[in-house]
Amino acid sequence: MVTKKSYLNNTKKLERIPEKELRNVCFKFFQKMSLSNVNAKIISDTLIDNDLRGVYSHGIMRFPTLVRNIERKKINPKAEINIVKDFKSTALIDGNNGIGQLISCKAMDIAIKKAKFYGVSAVGVFHSNHSNSMATYCMKALKKDMIGFYMSTGSSNIMAPYGGYDAKLGNNPFGIAIPTGSMWKFPIVLDMACSKRAMGWIMLALKEGWKNIPKNFALDDRGNPTTDPKEAYNGTLLPFGEYKGYSIAIIVGVLGSVLTSAAIGEDFNNLDEESMSEQNIGHFMGAIDIGKFIQIDDFKKRIDKFIMYLKSSRKLKNVKKIYVPGEKEYETYEENIIKGIPIAPVTLESIKEVANNYSIKINF
């Protein structure tokens, strides 16, 4: 993910646009694609909510590419999403090359229903597309007092196996959302990729003409460390935590795509704006019904106490605050909902172009 800090520090001339305006452009576009209001809202909300949470790499920035893929029929926005295997607490879903967000939302709704009935659930998905941030789907479980988890094969093979320098693995992100109580204000929401930084961040660096990325994030095509975003783009990203992040990426790949019959490894077509090949991305998700293990009120008291205990740690020099997963995103949300969403010029231009092409009235 492009985090708030790197985006705000590195991107020039950001303009803040009210979230409602951006939501409206997306919603109107999908209405014009004859999607139901419910589905148009799901896609708009998942994109803009990511921007509100400061996950700019998976927000409105992805909208113009989605528009283009629908226009040239690379993705079918009206695809039927079918359950092809329905067992007790598991299911396998064929996304039929539809829009990732719609597929993932439907799959997570099924996972939540199954967890309510059976206690825990696991739902696999194939023939899907990039579904943006993991957090979106995990967080659906929170309203039902459940823990939600979601993992996906990344949209391109961009990471080398540990010790190598061929891009053979996705960054294979995973997420989990856990409810908290009234003492601690935000749920725990973890959403991370297995590369140190996302390829979306390298792409942003390229689009925006940054000269350098920090060292230790990428190798060039000959296996040498590089700080040049173009060399990094043509090379490979490094996993977080060395062989540990590499190992987790393998596990996510196996659950997300080997188990679900989706594309992986040499059969995987990288996300390529020019190609018409279907990606056949796989996901693996589920929910755990907390009430089947412990009274929900008791759970919430216990997790709040644990969080406050962690946050009470003595802090290293120059550290102002001990964070827990998701906290920064909630803080950014509170800021962006008031100030508007900071948009890079290159993204703003693309959005205006879509609005113009589809006669969508905008106020920015």
Residues 292-331 that bind a copy of itself (CB under 8 A): 292-294, 298-299, 302-303, 305-306, 309-317, 319, 321-325
* β-sheet bridge partners, residue 146: 289
Tokens at residue 44, please? 């708009």
Nearer to a copy of itself, 70 or 263 (CB): 263
Q: In angstroms, what is the minimal distance from the CB of 324 to a copy of itself?
A: 6
Choose, by CB under 8 A, the member of 95, 245, 256, 342 that binds a copy of itself.
245
Name the one range near a copy of itself by CB under 8 A: 43-51, 75-83, 235-243, 349-357. Answer: 235-243
CA–CA separation, 123 and 110 (whole Å): 8
Choose, by CB under 8 A, the member of 12, 13, 36, 117 that binds a copy of itself.
117
Q: Which of residues 253-292 bind a copy of itself (CB under 8 A)?
A: 253-255, 258-261, 264-266, 286, 288-290, 292
Nearer to a copy of itself, 209 or 241 (CB): 241
Check binding of 153 to a copy of itself (CB under 8 A).
Answer: no
CA–CA separation, 314 and 302 (whole Å): 21
Counting residues that bind a copy of itself (by CB under 8 A) gives: 78
Do residues 131 and 104 lie in contact, with contact meaning Cβ atoms separated by under 8 Å?
Answer: yes
Q: Which of residues 187-206 bind a copy of itself (CB under 8 A)?
A: 188, 190, 192, 196
Name the one range near a copy of itself by CB under 8 A: 40-48, 65-73, 136-144, 158-166. Answer: 158-166
Beta-carbon count within 10 A of 50 CB: 25
Q: Which of residues 171-190 bind a copy of itself (CB under 8 A)?
A: 176, 178, 188, 190
Choose, by CB under 8 A, the member of 14, 120, 348, 362 that binds a copy of itself.
120
Check binding of 164 to a copy of itself (CB under 8 A).
Answer: yes
Q: In angstroms, what is the minimal distance from the CB of 168 to a copy of itself?
A: 5
Q: Residue 78: what are its φ and ψ, rounded to 5°?
A: -105, 20
Could you list the beta-strand ranges (E) of 193-300.
Answer: 218-219, 225-226, 236-237, 281-289
Closest CA to 17 of 349, 342, 259, 352: 342
- Cβ neighbors of 229 (< 8 A, separation 6 or more) are 202, 205, 206, 210, 212, 213
* Exposure of 65 in the CB half-sphere (CA atoms within 13 A): 22
Tokens 């823990």 belong to residue = 147
Tokens 């290293």 belong to residue = 316
Alpha-carbon distance values, 351 to 2, 354, 363 (Å) = 19, 5, 12
- Cβ neighbors of 185 (< 8 A, separation 6 or more) are 330
Check binding of 214 to a copy of itself (CB under 8 A).
Answer: no
Check binding of 248 to a copy of itself (CB under 8 A).
Answer: yes
Q: Residue 330: what are its φ and ψ, rounded to 5°?
A: -65, -35
Check binding of 90 to a copy of itself (CB under 8 A).
Answer: yes
Q: Which of residues 30-89 bind a copy of itself (CB under 8 A)?
A: 85, 87-89
Q: In angstroms, what is the minimal distance from the CB of 114 to a copy of itself?
A: 9
Check binding of 92 to a copy of itself (CB under 8 A).
Answer: yes
Name the one range near a copy of itself by CB under 8 A: 46-54, 121-129, 208-216, 345-353. Answer: 121-129
